[in-house]
Amino acid sequence: MSNTNDHTEWLEKAGILADALPYMRAFAGQTVVVKYGGHAMGDESLATGFASDIVLLKQVGINPVVVHGGGPQIGAMLDRLKIQSSFIDGLRVTDAETVDIVEMVLCGSINKQIVTAINKAGGFAVGLSGKDGNLIKARKLRRSKKDPGSNIEKILDLGFVGEPSEINPHILSTFEESDTIPVIAPIGVGSNGETFNINADTSAGAIAAAMGASRLLMLTDVAGVLSDTRQLMPEMTVERARTLIQAGTISGGMIPKVETCVKAVEHSVDAAVILDGRVPHAVLLELFTPHGAGTLIR
């Protein structure tokens, strides 16, 4: 016979499930795109919890789409192979040799680890890259930088670093109608069949927009967007986000993440959220509780 403490604990869990029901109903049948990366992907317990959360979303009628990164793992493999790599404005310069390694790591080991974890948690995950079904058509990413001495704009060559030119969500729409959970590596294909390495945040935002997702969830290694006093800002409009970027409140690596969210919201995504992937069950906290778990931009 169970003791009183056990009974109380199970009553609390039942209450949590009951409280989550309105949120489950609100998102039922909706698509949620989750960008997965950072510390959460490297921590075994967090990775196991993430996989369970994704399976739960599918179980209650939500259509999760996982887009993953893998910068640290790519760096580690390049180091093992003694291949030097350089960065320009936070983007890895990717030559022909490097892009083969990037594709191998992202589409191979990382993608299959995530697929295996989701399947182990009871889901039915399938690994894809942007090449499959022409999911992510890409073009070379163009960046320029002004020379401080001459004030001349200089074009930067990042090699095979790309950006989405077109998303073909047909293959993902097919999965929506089944029990399949797609796990996508952010590798795109160019017009001549060339391989492009694409930022995972950018890929997730473009896929969310193309699918008309209800939510874009960006798992990061910070709590969300912080104010000048380092307090979490739970919600903001697109206009407010732009103002905070111009004011310098949003700075550094947070700028491209917020810009990705803004672009997604402007292209038919209901709302985008930057949340802390280091918090256990962050995805469930964001979707199924009234206070959420990060900064929501709508």
pLDDT of residue 9: 85
**Cα distance between residue 141 and residue 62, in whole Å:** 33
The radius of gyration of the chain from alpha carbons, rounded to an integer in Å, stands at 20
pLDDT of residue 258: 95
Q: What's the whole-model pTM score? A: 0.91
pLDDT of residue 93: 84
pLDDT of residue 6: 76
pLDDT of residue 2: 54
pLDDT of residue 293: 85
Domains and CATH numbers, the chain: 27-297 (3.40.1160.10)
Chain centroid to CA 99: 20
pLDDT of residue 146: 67
Give the DSSP letter of residue 224.
S
Contact present, 90 and 150 (Cβ < 8 Å)? no
Over its length of 298 residues, how does the chain's per-residue pLDDT go in tens digits? 456 677 788 888 888 888 889 899 999 999 999 999 877 788 899 999 999 999 999 999 999 999 999 988 888 899 999 988 888 777 788 888 899 999 999 999 999 999 999 999 999 999 999 999 999 999 999 877 766 666 676 677 888 999 999 999 999 988 888 999 999 999 999 999 999 999 999 999 999 999 999 999 999 988 899 988 889 999 999 999 999 999 999 988 899 999 999 999 999 999 999 999 999 999 999 999 887 889 999 9
Pairing of strands 87-88, 294-297: unpaired
